[in-house]
A and B are shown apart, each in its own frame.
Chain A
Amino acid sequence: MATPTLPSENPAVLQGDSSAGAVVFDNVALAFEENVVLDGVSFHLPRGETKALFGVAGSGKSTILKLTLGLLKPDSGRIFLLGEEVTRMSEQELFDLRRRVGIVFQESALFDSLKVRENVAFRLMEEHLSEEVIEERVREVLRFVELERTYDMFPSELSGGMRRRVAIARAIITQPEVLLYDSPTGGLDPVTSNTIVELIVKQRDVYKTSALLVTHRLQDAFTMATHQFDKNSNQMIKLPKGQRSEVPMSFVLLRDGKIIFDGDARELAASRDPYIREYIS
């Protein structure tokens, strides 16, 4: 098994250089009453990298995303997001920081009383941009997720996969520095899942966005680790074995609130840990 470098062992973090990564968790613990969700979790997401978080249901993967954004507060430990210590910030200070981050919720969490256009444009409308700029940006980002035709539709008129893609469009419209995906392919058919995986890879390779990806689907993460987005052909292409180490993709496996693996696809596949072997088989 690969031995993860914990942020507390990372000289940059120890010296207080919190700009060491896009997201840094340092010995984070959280419990809901008697139920321990995270117990001393530490990891480091470098800028431009996508890190996939795995674990059985209830292992705290989605909680990590909420903690990253400051939607939840940990009981102990420190969390850095884009160099800012989230755990020390007030809710009001966090609103500014959150504008630099995009999140795709598990059930999309689109505003059901707003049309697709208004959902996607939510941030732009909050910034009081002109109608023309908003329309142009919304159409551009809906084209990116191949859903321009849904511009005037309500979320209730969309399928699950379409809602997920609209949620991605809403998350990326301001070109955030970090993206958080909570099971973006969960419960979807293989074709739609593949479309979403391709969108995530496109965002990673074209815009170099750092991302934390919660997923139950190991095959999605392996696809991301073995493919790269080709701008010329506008599609995801499989890389030959020798070039796969260049893909900025890593894996974290959670078990009982602790990280039991933090490394790349090759290290994960080579792991001899019985639990990991069973998990990836």
Chain B
Amino acid sequence: MLEAIPGRVRSGFPSGIAEKRTVRATPRFREKGKCPHLSGLLALFWVAMLVTSPSQAAEVKTAVLRIDRVVGPPISRLDAPPADLGFAGAMLGNEDNRTTGAFTGMDYTVTTQAVAPEEAGAALDGLKAEGIGLIAVIAEGDILKELSEKAGPGVLLFNAGARDDGLRDADCLANVLHVSPSRSMLSDSIVQFLMWKKWPRILLIHGSHPEDRLLAESYRKSAAKFGAKIVEEREFVDTGGSRRTDTGHVMVQKQIPVFTQEAEPYDVIVAADEAGVFAPYLPYHSWDPRPIAGSAGLRPVSWHPAHEAWGATQFQRRFEKLTGRYMREEDYQAWLAMRVIGEAVTRSGKADPATVRAYALSKDFELAAFKGQKLTFRTWNGQLRQPVLLTEGRVTVSVSPQDGYLHQHSPLDTLGIDAPETACQAFGG
């Protein structure tokens, strides 16, 4: 169906040189070429457009910039990222916008580009030079921060990757809206569920990488926030051992029980392993028979391909028809970025970054995104409020916020940094 999109991916299997690609007409429309009714159908389509839209469509240019750090393969080959990670979600969002745009006289394009970290700045300059001012970025936090500085106030970035709370707090950036949930939203989602289950005693196992420590700190804060108790912490040090070898499972079966034995009494293991070094080895191997949550077992995610509630089935199907694969979190987040742009443009009638930002942060903005309630932005730090799915891999186990976690404004604000505690200044807060 869709041609593979060249670009370097975070898989350790670079699939080619960085290449830019702009999509206007979508692969799905091309697919319709097989349909015998095509000419009639298209004729109707254009007639409909003539009736309802101005003759000259205004162009809304968007982009997705993905910064790929070359890392080793994931523990499970099922998690290896596809070459069009994130881009495919943006293409679906762009197609959704284009369909709506046909009725409102707006034309949408999306340019996708994947580059190495050292090329990030040049890639951003290139997009700016093409007059693209609405850009979704899938990158780590430090790179996003650099891009934000380089982009300046004339460009609006959508963070569709980085989880860092700092970027939503003291280090928040006026020209960045976050469609990706933060670490604290994810850790709050898990801890709320554990408290609902009455599993308050946590054995926290974290990795040795900086992002693992940030995630562990997020779990500590969540535990304090909701009254859970971290009874003990252990660090799984990444010694650079083999992630996947022929005999790996033999070693794992011996090492993990030893690593987890003689812990203080606990109800559940929470794994903080953003670097992806050990967490998938924990289930079934812990010394005590206990459930695992966090980076393995029950995972908090912005999206999952098994999710079906709230009309998600048809959304999943549209994505799978377009791409031939399941939707990942980065795809959902890039789709969100495109749909935020689409809603702001449709409702405000303008496509400049300043108007899109102002509309997204206004109280008129709302977005239906297959999560059972409207998504809106936190005006104090530009974070998109959203329910978080909890999945064990095959089904949606639960969705946070959990019942009973009330809030004076929105139960969604029980997840992540709330207005009274924010240190963000860039949003006039």
The answer to whether A and B interact is no
